[in-house]
Structure 1
Amino acid sequence: MQKIIIVLFLFLICGISVFSQEENSLNRIPLDTAVKIGKLPNGITYYIRKNSEPRERAELNLVIKAGSLQENDLQKGLAHFTEHMAFNGTKSFPKNDLIDYLQKSGVRFGADLNAYTGFDETVYQLPIPTDDPKLLESAFQILSEWAGDISFEAEEIENERGVIIEEERQRGKNVSERLSKKLMPILLANSRYRDRLPIGETAVINNFEHKTLKAYYNDYYRPELQAVIAVGDFKIEMVEELIIKNFSSLTEKGNSPELKEYLIPNNLEPLVKIATDPEFPYTVASIIYKHPETITRTEGDFRNAIIRSAASSMISNRVQEMVKNGNAPFLDAGVGYGPFQGGMVKMDAFSIQVVAKKPEELKEAIDGIMNEIDKMLKFGFTETEFERVKTTFMTSIEKSLMEKDKISSAGYLKQYLKHFTSGAAIMSLDYSYDFYKNNLEKITLKEVNEMGASFITAENQIILVQAPEESKDALPSEKTLSAWVNNKNRSVSEYIDDIIDAPLIEDKLLGAKVIKSKVHKSIKTTEVELSNGVRIVLKPTDFKNDEILFTAFSPGGVSLAKEAEITSAKMADNIIASSGIGKFNSNQLSKLLTGKSLGVGPYIGTYSEGIKGFSSKKDIESALKLIYLYFSHPRKDTVAFNRVMENTRVAIEGKSSNPMSVFQDTINTAMNGLGAWAASTTLKSLEKVSLDKSYNFYQERFADIGDFTFLFVGNFKTEQLLPLLEKYLGSLPSKNNKESFRDIGLKPLPGKVVKKVYRGLEDKAVVVLSYHDKYKYSKDNNLKLKALKSALETRLLERLREKESGVYSPSVSLSYVKIPSPYYSLAVSFSCASDRVEQLVEATRQEIEAMRAEGPTSLEIDKFVAQEKRQHEVALRTNNFWLSYLKNVYAKESDINSVNTYSRRLDNLKAQKMKKSARKLLDTEGSQELILLPENKK
């Protein structure tokens, strides 16, 4: 069950987190020598690092040390608008030529090529292949033209107004935006941040003069405020030459206004706000203690960072333990110290959030969470808690060190960006590991307790409540709310650390031997069968130094449940996974596994069940022990069952107030039919769920290891892993029953389906147009579907966004399945203004009909092939790809060598051959038109 915890956020802001600490030592952290930092005579800073993961790829960023805070009153939203204009034409790439050029080179718009605007930074992101020198050179030309030669053509500016408005509509026009507008004046009180949200103001977006937009660009896109970051598989000297060549000629164009620093002022008295909304489903209290921003520059900063992180981790662990124990007077809660509002503002905060079970139980929820805070303040933490955190920290840094030559290029960007914008340290993994190794044990529990106590301050407190409109009468006044939070008369007792020191497995394991073995040389896998019938497929790789991924599956799943027990069956895996294992409850198991890098969990899907997880090399035996226990000793835990049931109940109760949840139910019905297995869980069906039924169904699904297939991919030696597999998987019982799934009638409603749902308060419509049918499941037909999806997405982006200016980001989704019988679904979705639905639906139909009649163009196919090849090249070097690929092969009995022919099949994909496929696959006989409209349009 997904955690029900509401996180406050700044509406329509993209940003990055800052993990930095206060400067209290003269010992500066040494600069990582692997990165070359330079500055051109005109002031542009550059960072270059050679990194070979992924191979023949690079991550390029252009950073501008300015954002919405630098806008004047006539420019609110124009920092973000400027970012959009960068993709609508530069000196050498007019209009959409830039996007077109990159797409033909294998770079995807949105997924790869992207940008974001924050309060005080704007960042352009360009991942690029490096095996084509001309393309790499063009990439730096593009960055330089973003930095100084954006075209700002009048027609493009006018067209983009509507796109920006639709971006706001797509991301907002919902309960989150409405509550955000009510809470933002408190969160950002008395600061410039409050009046400079990056999305801007609609009146400005619709009416600004072109010269006002250009003025922002000229004033703040100046060399001294810009940095180029390049990390990838290239020669440093060559990249440096490209930067010098492309950026040296840039000069200032504006008046060079002063770059001011803006802060959020302190507040002596608590800032309190209660906000309600008809569509908000929960009652959530947030208590925030603002702290000055801290930046890690010195060894003292780093040491304080570790202490602060330890204290934050331990109080967070306590709260989660309380939730799992089932004795919390709240539904869910979370606490932690970190960047305020996700690092978008220059401030840190200790944040507490608690979800009340009912609106009238808000006081109990607040008392419950604040009791844990008071307990920390009065008694501090225990030595056993501290030892676990230190062990976890060392495990994490050791694993990072082991993977230091496998870190992706994207993993370095944030560190370099923060060095440019705030002067934060750039430290190597070797330095970081040595620092932990030499300093962690020197940190005392007293220091950690003092740090935890410093989180709670008399000043700079913010108290917020978000709740359903209907519960308004049950909520306290702001004065009473503040009194609840700041009650000094709570009586608390010392924390008791619940630990069981016992082995995971006490059974005598007999094991089973390999009786069959087969090597697939073409994909470098070994397939074995044990004497108890279990099939195991092993693929050793060197993509990561210390990663092993695994999964297992068996046919059956919920499809084999009795109709009267469907809901119990659907919830069985969540209930068991939340219950711990064997003699250990969930909290005890977490503590027992401290310091181990692993994760194991069971799942039961519609047509199959299994296990999935990961581990380090040294922890693979522990992972296999957990697998053994999930098969042989699942835990029946009443506390966990009650917690899952309560969370599910509250989630169901809240669905009716959420327009998208109601609309999603409509979509699910249209796509899956009206049968019992397709129905969503309701309060009535939830009443029929019992722990015994869920537990018994789980046991039935995992009772026989003989029809399971296990897949292991990662850095291991087959000859070393096999004895462990023989011991643990070989000790599980087999009844030699080969089960299969049942066809339970999950399929789209037949014929043409048209349905309008009227929910929501805002002028926002959501449209879903889908096409589906039975088809011959084959690798060639699946590839044609993917090509058709790509071409259609490109056309709709050009038509609905660029030409109509009516949609921000139209999406085309594709689904094709073989089980229980082959069928596909191709769905177009977008949000828009409610009065433009008919016009945009008609435009979409026109594009689909044109695609159906003519098929994709050669250019569209070429773009798809180029992008797919580039993505496939990278995917082949990841464990996740191979695990997914092998599962697909064995579950669907597909050609095991198809991965080796993929590139050739892409080359054979021609536009002429696609015409017939497009005509058949976009047949409107099986289609759905589903539209969500606001209530006032009914």
Structure 2
Amino acid sequence: MHIVSRFRFAALLALPLLGAQPLVAQQAAPAAPAAATAPAPQTEPWLYRGSDIPPDPAWTFGTLPNGVRYAVRRNGVPPGQVAIRVRIDAGSLMERDSERGYAHLLEHLAFRGSEHVPDGESKRLWQRLGVTFGSDSNASTTFTQTVYKLDLPAATPQGLDESMKVLAGMMANPTITDAAIAAERPVVLAEQRERLSPQSRISDASRALFFAGQPIADRSPIGTIETLNAANAASVSAFHDRWYRPERTVIVIAGDADPAIFAQLIARHFSAWRGDGPAVPTPDFGDPATDASASAVTVEPAIPPIVSMAIVRPWSIEADTILFNQERMIDQVAIRILNRRLESRARAGGSFITAGANLEDVARSANVTTLTILPVGDDWEAAVRDVRATIADASTTPPTQAEIDREVAEVRSAMENAVATARVEAGALQADAIVGAVDIGETVTAPEGSLAILTGAIEKRFFTPARILASTRKVFEGERRALVNSRTPDATTAARLAAVLDEDVSKLAAARTAAGSVTFADLPKLGTAGKVAARRMVIADPAIEQVDFANGAKLLLFPNESETGKVYVRVRFGGGLRALPADRETPAWAGDLALLPSGIGKLGQEEIDRLTSGRQIGFSFATDDDAFVFGAVTTPADLADQLRLFAAKLATPGWDPNPVARARAVTIAGYPSFESSPDGILARDLEKLLHGGDPRWGLPPREVVEQVDATAFRAFWEPLLATGPIEVQVFGDVTADAAVKAVAASIGALPPRKPAAMTAPAPDFPAHNTTPLTRTHRGQPNQAAAVIAWPTAGGSDAISESRRLDVLAAVFRDRLFDRLRSQEGASYTPNVVSDWPVGMPGGGRLFAVGQIAPDKADAFFTIARKIAADLVARPIDADELRRALLPVAQLMMRMSSGNTFWLQQTGGGTTDPRRLAAVNTLAEDIGKVTAADIQALAQKYLAPGRDWSMLVLPEGER
């Protein structure tokens, strides 16, 4: 079978700006001083001490003499990449009252500058190595840890060595000066300002209630304005010296090279690090209070009435053993059964839109069973009664063995799929798994090990009705807390919440009905398998074939072993946005929420769930520019039935009215939230505004949503499902003959389809405005948002130009980030995006957007226009081109090793062959872009007088 070739990007690899030989090609590790030689691998890996779980043999564990622990392994997914994680066992729960926010502030300072990197240069250093800031290089601070993340693409010996040196300097000697703090403080305060929202206030109130009496109750990692403004070099240095120590550090590396190289580099750069002063013990995180208030109320008009419950129990460190994990699996199966019952009640038109339970350990502070309930309308009391009744029934009457077997089969199927696809699991995910395990005092094992633990539990008959009943009772025992949000103040709400939580609901449980068996024979019958009319290779590298069927359906086929055990399937049909009317509002908005749950023939979503239970069969829906799309990731064994499910949906769609009512309820519930923040206004209005008010984009007015019923929904969607060409994409671990046979028996067996009426015009870009269009929100008075956009183009004629626009956007983004965030501290998340609709003849745009303080609006527009004017006036220098181009090129190279990239590049190619032809120019379009090309694009699209701008201000501001 064909393995995805990287030859196509030889032009990229050959560019002088791409640097030296990849690390994977190196045979010998870089020389290290004798004193820094890595210790021999541990015979008893430190992660597994006290556990009988079999260690994953792919990992090598070690500990340096100074206490730094590490775990390293070889992983070639994606090829050439090295994923590095440096975990410091220090988060917001280690802060004193006067230090709130220091762990997070220190993370910012470490990235800003350190022993080996001048202030502000670390981002540029890694950009020159192909690293995309924010995705490939980032950090996160939680309650219990700070993790620095670096995914180094096409890692060279020199680049990896330099990166490890920089990371070591960041940990041991970050630049902590009053000047650095003064420069970075506005960035952190901007992040804090942008975080504030009704959702964050409810989250804070929930945490204060659920964890009353514990530090986590009021220790948000973002800190407080008072403590951040008081921070200085001395106080932040004291926090650093107390917690940034070798013995509190774990380094994890998974990458495309010999693990011995990684171990030696860790020893080389981290061995000399010494802690400052005696070690300080981790503070006590406390136990949940037993005398705390059991309920609370928030009043957030923008958020629907939503009830959050928690049953909290003390968190204790237990040995991560096989038995411990098997008993946890019993708990998880119990939770899965409960959630399935809750979902069934919601689907049937119950009193709640959605409700679900979860079981988790939270920040080494508590073991918690959480429950979230979103009612239909404002009657949250009825929803709480219904959910409590379902829990009461599950806690008093054992489930059926059939219910248990279904959940166990789904868990087992997922684990078997993990075993089958283990060879292609990304190194970054494996590194993150180690970090997560360290944080909560657990281990990791290979997928085969996890499956063996489950299999052992099954063989011991752990999953019985009696055990599941006992587990259900256990996970709902503990200190109960509940919070309800109300849209309006009401003095009786707290008492009503307490009352409904104490009601006897034992007689309210709905009668259980035995679920009948469903097989694929119950799906509506399809016609005779279709005949192949033509086959031809349409792309040489990668080797993609087009197969035409007699009924007009076409298949793009790419058999390859790049992702073992995975087969990606896309069914593109109809006309997408181009087939929707542009002169009126429609029920198109409800497609994502209601089209799939409406069922197939006489089978509803409940039956379809049972049909696919225990198998790797999915079903997603999306609307593209020029097609509607069904999608799934399946397995070679399930491919035929996956395609049959898609074909049956097209041939005989079901029209259950309940999903339409549910979609309407959830959409209406969300409308007030849009006005609660600048982001909400942008989410509601920006796309429609950028498309000249075209109703195909954005949400319709609320009154339109309220009027949509099942009849109107069916009348709109039924003809769209039945018309237009069908293109199937099957990419992945499957033989060509098996794929063609599966498509012939499913999509190929459908009757010929009528053409789709793709008559809608391309959208108009809004006219240039000298004064920004202004909208207002009802949220935080210190929050605003600004957008400035320039029209570009669209279609497949100029795909090459769209790719170069991505490089222009990267240059623009980097400059805007440096000016608006790093220098001005005006915005934490400024971004620049180029959007080029390949399936539309127009409608493209390049736009900059950022959340800002209201008084920074003029600065945003001034800076953005100055950047645009400078890009028009003069070419960028070689270093800036390298820092913009290399991350784009490296990202493309990494993505090209997976099937999703090729699905995107070739989608729609059977009706528009120009898209297939454009695959041949991928490397050239990016690899040969010059500074002159970037300037020419800026002159073409960023000229003054073409931009459109928008400003979202708090009510009362102008």
Q: TM-score w.r.t. structure 1 length? A: 0.92
Q: Label 1:26 to 1:924 Cα distance change in 2 as closer, same or farther (>3 A).
A: closer
Which residue matches 1:623? 642
Q: Say if 1:704 and 1:734, in contact at 8 Å, map to a contact too.
A: no
* Separation of aligned partners in 2, 1:727 and 1:401: 29
Alpha-carbon distance, 1:203 to partner: 1.4
Count of residues in correspondence between the two structures: 901
Q: How much does 1:73 deviate? A: 2.9
How big is the alpha-carbon RMSD for the aligned residues of Structure 1 and Structure 2? 2.4
Report the alpha carbon displacement of residue 256 of structure 1 after superposing the two structures with TM.
2.8
In structure 2, relative to structure 1, the CA distance for the partners of 1:38 and 1:139 (3 Å cut) is: same
Counterparts of 1:670-749 in structure 2 under 5 Å?
670-678=689-697, 680-704=699-723, 707-735=725-753, 737-739=754-756, 741-744=758-761, 746-749=763-766
Mapped partners of 2:89, 2:675: distance in 1:
44
1:789-938 map, 5 Å: 789-887=809-907, 889-890=909-910, 892-938=912-958
Partner Cα separation in structure 2 for residue 124 and residue 371 of structure 1 = 45
Residue of structure 2 equivalent to 1:614: 633
Q: Residues of 2 paired with 1:151 and 1:678: CA distance?
A: 47
- The separation in 1 between residues aligned to 2:583 and 2:882, in whole angstroms, is 52
Q: Percent identity?
A: 19
Pair 1:529–1:186, CA change in 2 (3 A): same
- Separation in 2 of the partners of 1:44 and 1:676? 58
Alignment counterpart, residue 756 of structure 1, candidates 770, 774, 778: 774
The answer for the alignment partner of 1:284 in structure 2 is 306
Q: Report what 2:37 is aligned to.
A: none
Write the letter of the residue equivalent to 2:499.
A
Answer whether contact 1:286 1:463 (CA < 8 A) is retained: yes
Alignment partner, residue 69 of structure 1: 93
Stretch deviating more after TM superposition (594-603 or 895-904): 895-904
Task: Within 5 Å, give how 1:289-308 maps onto structure 2.
Answer: 289-293=311-315, 297-308=320-331
Residue in 2 that maps onto 1:661: 680
Q: Is the 8 A contact 1:558 1:569 kept in 2?
A: no
**Structure 1, residues 194-238: CA drift from partner, whole Å, max 9, x if none?**
343211111121222211111111111111111111111111112
**d(CA) in 1 for partners of 2:382 and 2:286?**
35
* 2:441 paired residue among 416, 423, 427: 423
1:540 aligns with 2:563: no
- Are residues 257 and 396 of structure 1, via their aligned partners in 2, closer, same or farther at CA, if it must alter by over 3 Å? same
Q: CA deviation at 1:554?
A: 3.6
Deviation at 1:633, TM superposition (A): 0.8
The verdict on how the C-alpha distance between 1:644 and 1:419 changes in structure 2, with shifts beyond 3 A counting, is closer
Q: 1:511-526 counterparts in 2 under 5 A?
A: 511-520=529-538, 521-526=540-545
Post-superposition CA distance 1:545-594 (Å, at most 9, x none): 11111212245235445679742355356433111212211111101211
Change over 3 Å in CA distance of 1:166–1:555 after alignment to 2: same
Contact 2:255–2:427 (CA under 8 A) maintained in structure 1: yes
Q: Is the 8 Å Cα contact of residues 608 and 741 (structure 1) preserved in structure 2?
A: no
What is the rounded CA distance, in whole Å, between the counterparts of 2:86 and 2:581 in structure 1? Answer: 58
The correspondence for 1:201, drawn from 217, 224, 227, is 224
1:324 maps to amino acid = R
Match for 1:322 among 342, 345, 363?
A: 345
Superposed counterparts of 1:3-42, under 5 Å? 28-42=52-66
Paired residue secondary structure (2:950):
strand
Instruction: Identify the residue that residue 400 of structure 1 maps to in structure 2.
Output: 418
Aligned-pair distance for 1:250?
Answer: 0.5
Tell me what 1:94 maps to: 118
Residue in 1 that maps onto 2:654:
635
Greater Cα offset, 776-785 or 796-805: 776-785
Letter in 2 for 1:641: V
Kept in 2: contact 1:773–1:926 (CA 8 A) = no
Could you give the per-residue CA deviations for residues 56-91 of structure 1, whole angstroms, max 9, x where no partner exists? 111111111112222223322111111111112111
Moved more, 667-676 or 133-142: 667-676
Whether contact under 8 Å (2:114, 2:174) holds in the other structure is yes
Structure 1: how far apart are the matches of 2:73 and 2:56? 10
Cα distance between partner residues in 2 of 1:400 and 1:377: 32
User: 1:413-441: per-residue Cα shift (whole Å, max 9, x none)?
Assistant: 23322443443123222222222223224
Deviation string 1:11-58 (CA, Å, 9 cap, x unpaired) is xxxxxxxxxxxxxx9872222222111111111111111122222111
Decide whether the 8 Å contact of 1:540 with 1:715 is kept in 2: yes
CA shift for structure 1 position 672: 1.6
Paired residue for 1:215?
A: 238
Q: Per the alignment, do residues 783 and 609 of structure 1 end up closer, same or farther by CA in structure 2, a change over 3 Å counting?
A: closer
What is the match of residue 593 of structure 1?
Answer: 612
Q: Separation in 2 of the partners of 1:180 and 1:603?
A: 31
CA contact under 8 A between 2:297 and 2:494: conserved in structure 1? yes
2:498 aligns to what?
482
Structure 1 residue 848, shift from structure 2 partner: 2.2
Equivalent positions of 1:423-572 (< 5 A) are 423-441=441-459, 442-443=461-462, 444-457=464-477, 459-468=478-487, 470=488, 472-473=489-490, 476-488=492-504, 490-491=506-507, 492=509, 494-502=511-519, 503-505=521-523, 507=525, 509-520=527-538, 521-557=540-576, 559-561=578-580, 566-572=585-591
Residues of 2 paired with 1:85 and 1:924: CA distance?
Answer: 37
Q: Report the equivalent of 1:139.
A: 163
Find the counterpart in structure 2 of residue 785 from structure 1.
805
Amino acid at match of 1:424: E
- CA positional deviation for 1:892: 4.4
C-alpha change, 1:83 and 1:197, in structure 2 (3 Å) is same
The one-letter code matched in structure 1 to 2:498 is S
Distance 1:723 1:357, change over 3 A: closer
Q: Partners in 1 of 2:680 and 2:444 — Cα distance?
A: 44
Deviation at 1:246, TM superposition (A): 0.9
Q: Which residue of structure 2 lines up, in the alignment, with residue 770 of structure 1?
A: 789
CA deviations on 1:465-493 (whole Å, 9 max, x unpaired) are: 1121x3x33x7442331221122353135
Distance 1:559 1:896 in 2: 21
Q: Which runs of 5+ in 2 are unaligned?
A: 1-48
Q: Are the counterparts in 2 of residues 761 and 936 from structure 1 also a CA contact under 8 Å?
A: no
Report the alpha carbon displacement of residue 602 of structure 1 after superposing the two structures with TM. Answer: 4.6
Q: CA deviation at 1:841?
A: 2.6
Partner residue, 2:42: none
Alignment of 1:348-427 (within 5 A): 348-359=367-378, 361-427=379-445
Q: For the residues of structure 2 that align with 1:120 and 1:69, how far apart are their CA atoms?
A: 6
1:249 partner letter: A
Matched residue SS, 1:817: coil
